[in-house]
Amino acid sequence: MRSESFPRRHEYQQPARDRHPKAARSLRVTLVVLVLVTTVVTLTRSITLLEQGDYTPRVIVTSAERVRDLGEETLKPSPKSTPAPTTQAPKLILPPVSRLSYGNAPIHNAAFIKRSSNFDESVSRQRGVVMSIHKGVFALGLCLIGELRCLGNDELIQIYHCFPAELPDNLQQVLLDQDNRLEIVDACSDLVNASVSTESGALNFRNWWLKPLVLHHTDLQEVILLDADDILLQNPALVRLSKG
């Protein structure tokens, strides 16, 4: 009797991952190598910056001790200085028309812009980083500045606040001692002095609304706006290289 073979209805098919074990293994090895190379490059860059700059562990510890010595009362945020964010925007502030001309900004009064005694005058004002810091988030902002420098960012950093009570002089001095490419700007006092806003009107910006005001007030042409509590994994200036 002749035997005939019939096709099996349910033939077992080997899973795709098992059919190409070499390709899967090669992909895993490639990913591991990429991770290792990235880690080595990052560590090398950080070590180089630590050796060249002022962000050695000793300097960072010294700055931290100075912040601690300022006292808990100074660092404690007060409801008066930083009200809770509101959903309603403050009244729009429109500066003089001449403000829109770069290099001729009357609201940028030097009395409300602080720099260190060894400020680097050669730093470009074309690009930079801006952020708002008050005494409630001072320690976070101080760490963020050091983090930016360790990641290779050497651009001008502008620290904004609204009236002196929001960022006392002793805290400002700690920031200025930390970096020589840093400016501290009291935007609210500047606007009131230039009769662009009243004091009561400027007080409305002592919250989240200071951020859009910062973008309007800064004299930098290209800015990256950061929050004091941001955690960075790369130099944020890399976004300028994207095609978006």
pLDDT per position as a tens digit, 152-165: 999 999 999 999 99
Lowest mean pLDDT among 174-183, 204-213, 228-237: 204-213
Is 160 in a helix, a strand, or coil? strand
82 and 174 housed in the same domain: yes
206 and 187 housed in the same domain: yes
What residues make up the domain containing 164? 53-88+97-241
Any idea of the CA torsion for 205, 217, 221, 119, to the nearest 10 degrees?
Answer: -100
Strands, E assignment, 52-179: 113-115, 127-132, 156-161
Calculate mean pLDDT across residues 213-231. Answer: 93
- Count of domains for the chain: 2
81 and 22 housed in the same domain: no
Residue 7 lies in a domain: no
pLDDT over threshold 90, residue 23: no
Q: Looking up tokens 């651009």, which residue turns up?
A: 155
70 and 127 housed in the same domain: yes
60 and 31 housed in the same domain: no
In the prediction, which pLDDT does 196 show?
A: 86
Residue 72 lies in a domain: yes
Question: Tens of pLDDT along 64-115?
Answer: 666 666 655 555 555 555 555 555 666 655 544 444 433 444 678 888 999 9
pTM over the 0.75 mark = no
